[in-house]
Structure 1
Amino acid sequence: MHLSPASLEIIIEGEVVMDNIQDLPKAMCILFGLMYALHLNYPKTMKLTFQFIQQVLLLLGHTDLKPKLQTLKNQLAM
């Protein structure tokens, strides 16, 4: 499946901070960079999603995963 969104924007605390981003991977990298540079916490409702992307997909941060993340990583490896 190929996704082709009309536009990509980064919104932090209800404000558009960047728009006209070319593709999703670039938007995710910019988002993680902004969150790191601005010392922002992950949104509570998406904390595990962001931790999974950071620790499993990007291989950044701690190597020891929380049980829920380790279970998901193991399921994806099957």
Structure 2
Amino acid sequence: MALMAKNEDINVKRDCILRSLSVYLNENMETVIKEYQVNDSECAEAELGIAQTTMGIYVIRVDGADPGDEMYADVGVVLKGVEFLQNLQCVTLRCVMIFGLIYALNLSYPKDLTCTFKVFQKILMELDTTKLSPKVQALKTKMFQ
């Protein structure tokens, strides 16, 4: 939340909200978002990590960039070790893209973020809203009071 106070960029605020959502649901967003801070000699480590990822979002930060900086060398979505999308510049867009791929390809949600993706599906996108888990229903009730 300190990043949100220091930065007026809407993408930073959205990033904080998405990360807060996963914290509220007791899930860890870092299981899906893998961050690498590399220079040219360490690029092989990031490529190996990406190739071993089953499903996730990778962020390669410019060498010397702080975690709050929006300075990325590359950002994308990985499914089964294959880079599907590259050069996405904000966390919100990355989350929307991975949600869209999961939904379009009829894949299962990542086990560690099932509730977060169900909130995306059932509350934000209003798809299949008839069956809500207790966690998702409680969040929806709090949001619309």
TM class by smaller structure: 0.7 to 0.9
Paired residue total: 78
Asked if 1:20 is matched to 2:94, the reply is: no
Q: TM-score with structure 1 length normalisation?
A: 0.74
Q: How big is the alpha-carbon RMSD for the aligned residues of Structure 1 and Structure 2? A: 2.2
Runs of 4+ aligned residues of structure 1 deviating over 4 Å after TM superposition are: none
Q: Which residue of 1 aligns with 2:97?
A: 30
Percent identity, aligned pairs only, is 33
Residues 63 and 8 of structure 1: CA distance in aligned 2, closer, same or farther (over 3 Å): farther
Unaligned runs of 5+ residues in structure 1 are none
Contact 1:54 1:61 (C-alpha < 8 Å) held by counterparts: yes
For residues 65 and 5 of structure 1, the distance between their equivalents in structure 2, rounded to whole angstroms, comes to 38
SS across alignment from 1:54: helix
Q: Deviations over 1:6-25 (max 9, x none)?
A: 35311223432211124444
Q: Which has the higher strand share?
A: 2
Question: How far does residue 5 in structure 1 lie from its aligned partner after superposition?
Answer: 6.1
Q: Which residue of 2 aligns with 1:45?
A: 112
Q: TM-score with structure 2 length normalisation?
A: 0.45
